[in-house]
Amino acid sequence: MAAAPKPETLAAFEAAKGFMPVREGLALYAAAVEAGGLGLPLLEVGTYCGRSTILLADAAREAGTTAITVDHHRGSEEQQPGWDYHDPETVDPEVGRMDTLPTFRRTLHRAGLEDHVIAVVGRSPQVAKVWGTPLGLVFIDGGHTDEHAAGDYEGWAPHVAEGGLLVIHDVFPDPADEWTGQAPYRVYLRALASGAFTEVSVTHSLRVLRRTGQGV
């Protein structure tokens, strides 16, 4: 049976601002618990307000490791003003731009998980270039353009340890979902075609793959 979060963790996840459905969250948590067995950090690309970070942090706490979450906190393309996923509450009135960092910090505080997360504020490709630690899990949930999704994959997939997990969110094979999930879908296909990753599970738009070979 797949590992499940404690009721208070699941309640914190459901109360947090964000877009991940519970079913996908449970699959992410199970993957994080499994990957935590490697004793390596669990890394997320795309923090937003910390909804999924709660699950990674709780799994990291259980495993005695650390969750790392990377985001510039200015919002991805579909979260900007005028788009469907824009939330005016995340706009910093002083600078007139999105800033999800304060909301994220409140999310972790309420969940009691601040001590189990390292939040890296910066753009994913820049952070990946200076990263040097093997990772038990990489969760790609950042920008949905080909540029950003491919950049996240190219920057972070090489750091997934042997036996570690690569998790990709918002994988939608239907061309009708070009804006929301075709770029992650193309990254998912690329990972499979590389021969470095083998699919473990599919939960709606969440794909879990295991590193079983070299390369990306």
Phi, psi values for residue 44, rounded to 5°: -120, 135
Nearest to 46 by CA among 144, 181, 165: 144
Among this protein's residues, is 144 annotated catalytic? Answer: yes
**Which of the following is catalytic: 144, 148, 159, 169?**
144
Q: Which residue has the tokens 């994988």?
A: 171
- Would you please indicate which residues are annotated as catalytic (active-site) residues? 144
